[in-house]
C-alpha cells in the first residue's frame, strides 16, 4: 500500500493549561481526540495519513504532568517528563539506574529531548505492515501480513503471538516492569492505578491496543516504589545500528542479593512480544541461587522455553537467551553462552 507522507490534515487543537482541563477535554471528545505529548510517534501516523484525528489535545502546557518527585521513599515521574531528563536525573541514576539507562538508549538525542516517558510507554507498535496502513488484524482486518510465508518479519514476535505478531518497541517499558512501577491514569475526575506489568496488553487481550488506555484515559504519572531502590540492575538493548534504532531485543533486570545468593529477581524482555514479558520461570529459578555457571545457563534455557520464531527472526531466540544470561551475570557471558 502506498503511503502519502504529507502535511497533517487539519484538526482542532487544544492546549490545556491544567490537568483538570486536559481530563475534561479528553472525556468530552472521546474517540475523536488524540493526545500529543512529544509527538515523536503521533506525527508519523498523522503525516502518513494512515490514522487521522479531528481533535488534538497537546499536553505541553500542563504543569502537573512535568517533573520527578520523591514520594514515600520512591519516585513519581510526570508523564510529560522527557526521556533526556530521566536519563540525566541524578536521583533516578542513583536509585533506579536501569530506567535512566533505558531512557538514554531510546532513539537519538533529538528524539529523547522531545519524547516523553508517557509517550514512550504508550507508543504504538512499529510493525511495517500495520504502520503502512495494511488492513491487518490490528487494523480491524482478518490477516496478519507479517506472518505469511513471504513476509518480512525479522523484527516481529517470538513469544505470545495471537494472530498478530507485532512487538512492543519501547525501551523504557521493560525497565518499568522490572521496577514494579505503577501507572497512574486519569479519566474525567477519576483516577486509577495500574501495575506496569498489566499496563501493556497483548493481542490475546485486545488486538487493537498496546496498553490498557482507552479513549478518554490520560496517563498522568509513573510511580516507582522504594522496593528495588539500589538493587543490582542490568539493561541492554541490541539494535541494528548503534547510532539510533528500535530494539531488536532489550532486557531489564533487577536483582537483590544477600551473602552471594539471589534473594529476589525481576527479569523482563522487550521486543519479543506485543508487551514486555516478565520471565517468571526465570525469576523463580533464580531465587535462592548463587550466581554461577549453572544458574546462568539454566536461566537462559528457561527464558526461551516456548519461543516460536517466524521465518526471519530465529536469531531472536539465542539473542534473548544470551541477554538473559548476561543480565543474571551482570555482564557479557564468556565461554559457550
Ligand X SMILES: Cc1cc2nc3c(=O)[nH]c(=O)nc-3n(C[C@H](O)[C@H](O)[C@H](O)COP(=O)(O)OP(=O)(O)OC[C@H]3O[C@@H](n4cnc5c(N)ncnc54)[C@H](O)[C@@H]3O)c2cc1C
Binding positions for ligand X, rule: CB under 6 A? 34-42, 79, 83, 106-107, 111, 114-116, 118-120, 122-123, 169-171, 213, 218-219, 244-246
**200 and 164 Cβ atoms separated by less than 8 Å:** no
**Which C-beta is closer to ligand X: that of 66 or that of 170?**
170
The grid coordinates listed for 291 are: 550466581
**Which C-beta is closer to ligand X: that of 103 or that of 255?**
103
CB of 224 to ligand X, least distance (A): 17
CB of 215 to ligand X, least distance (A): 10
**Which C-beta is closer to ligand X: that of 44 or that of 257?**
44
| Contacts for 25-28: CB closer than 8 Å, 24+ residues apart | 25/55, 25/57, 26/57, 26/187, 26/215, 26/216, 26/217, 26/218, 27/187, 27/188, 27/216
**Which C-beta is closer to ligand X: that of 11 or that of 244?**
244
**Which C-beta is closer to ligand X: that of 57 or that of 302?**
57
**Which C-beta is closer to ligand X: that of 41 or that of 180?**
41
**125 and 138 Cβ atoms separated by less than 8 Å:** yes
CB of 211 to ligand X, least distance (A): 8
Q: State the residue number with the nearest CB to ligand X.
A: 119
**180 and 227 Cβ atoms separated by less than 8 Å:** yes
**Which C-beta is closer to ligand X: that of 219 or that of 255?**
219
**333 and 322 Cβ atoms separated by less than 8 Å:** yes
Report the distance separating Cα 235 and Cα 233, nearest Å.
7
Report the distance separating Cα 311 and Cα 209, nearest Å.
25
H-type helices in the chain, by residue range?
19-29, 42-48, 83-88, 90-95, 97-104, 109-114, 117-122, 128-131, 172-178, 196-199, 280-286, 293-303, 316-329
CB of 244 to ligand X, least distance (A): 6
Residue 123 CA: distances (Å) to CA of 113, 167, 171: 16, 11, 11
CB of 123 to ligand X, least distance (A): 4
The grid coordinates listed for 3 are: 503511503
CB of 46 to ligand X, least distance (A): 10
Residues in the chain, overall count: 337
CB of 107 to ligand X, least distance (A): 3
Q: Which of 326, 302, 315, 242 is nearest to 272 (CA)?
A: 315
Amino acid at each position: 500500500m502506498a503511503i502519502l507522507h504529507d502535511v497533517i490534515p487539519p484538526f482542532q487543537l487544544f492546549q490545556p493549561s491544567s490537568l483538570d482541563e486536559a481530563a475534561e477535554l479528553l472525556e468530552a471528545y472521546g474517540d475523536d481526540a488524540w493526545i500529543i505529548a512529544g509527538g515523536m510517534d503521533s506525527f508519523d501516523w498523522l503525516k502518513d495519513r494512515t490514522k487521522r484525528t479531528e481533535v488534538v489535545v497537546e499536553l505541553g502546557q500542563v504543569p502537573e504532568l512535568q517533573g520527578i518527585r520523591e514520594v514515600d521513599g520512591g519516585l513519581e515521574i510526570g508523564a510529560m517528563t522527557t526521556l533526556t531528563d530521566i536519563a540525566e536525573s541524578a536521583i533516578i541514576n542513583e536509585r533506579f539506574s536501569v530506567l535512566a539507562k533505558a531512557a538514554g538508549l531510546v532513539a537519538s538525542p533529538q528524539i529523547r529531548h522531545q519524547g516523553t516517558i508517557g509517550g514512550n510507554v504508550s507508543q504504538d507498535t512499529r510493525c511495517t505492515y500495520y504502520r503502512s496502513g495494511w488492513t491487518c488484524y490490528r487494523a480491524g482486518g482478518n490477516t496478519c501480513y507479517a506472518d505469511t510465508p513471504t513476509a518480512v518479519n525479522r523484527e516481529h514476535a517470538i513469544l505470545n503471538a495471537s494472530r498478530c505478531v507485532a512487538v512492543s518497541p519501547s525501551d523504557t517499558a521493560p525497565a518499568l516492569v522490572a521496577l514494579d512501577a505503577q501507572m497512574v491514569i486519569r479519566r474525567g475526575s477519576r483516577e486509577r492505578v495500574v501495575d506496569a506489568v498489566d499496563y501493556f496488553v497483548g493481542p490475546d487481550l485486545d488486538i487493537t491496543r498496546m496498553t490498557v488506555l482507552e479513549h478518554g484515559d490520560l496517563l498522568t504519572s509513573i510511580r516507582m516504589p522504594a522496593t528495588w531502590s539500589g538493587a543490582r540492575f542490568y539493561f541492554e538493548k541490541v539494535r541494528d545500528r548503534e547510532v539510533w534504532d528500535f530494539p531488536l531485543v532489550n532486557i531489564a533486570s533487577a536483582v537483590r542479593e544477600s551473602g552471594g545468593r539471589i534473594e529476589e529477581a525481576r527479569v523482563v524482555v522487550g521486543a519479543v512480544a506485543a508487551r514486555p514479558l516478565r520471565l517468571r520461570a526465570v525469576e523463580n529459578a533464580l531465587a535462592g541461587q548463587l550466581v554461577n555457571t549453572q544458574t546462568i545457563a539454566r536461566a537462559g534455557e528457561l527464558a526461551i522455553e516456548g519461543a516460536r520464531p517466524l521465518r526471519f527472526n530465529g536469531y531472536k531466540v539465542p539473542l534473548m537467551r544470551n541477554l538473559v544470561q548476561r543480565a543474571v551475570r551482570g555482564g557479557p557471558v564468556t565461554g559457550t553462552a
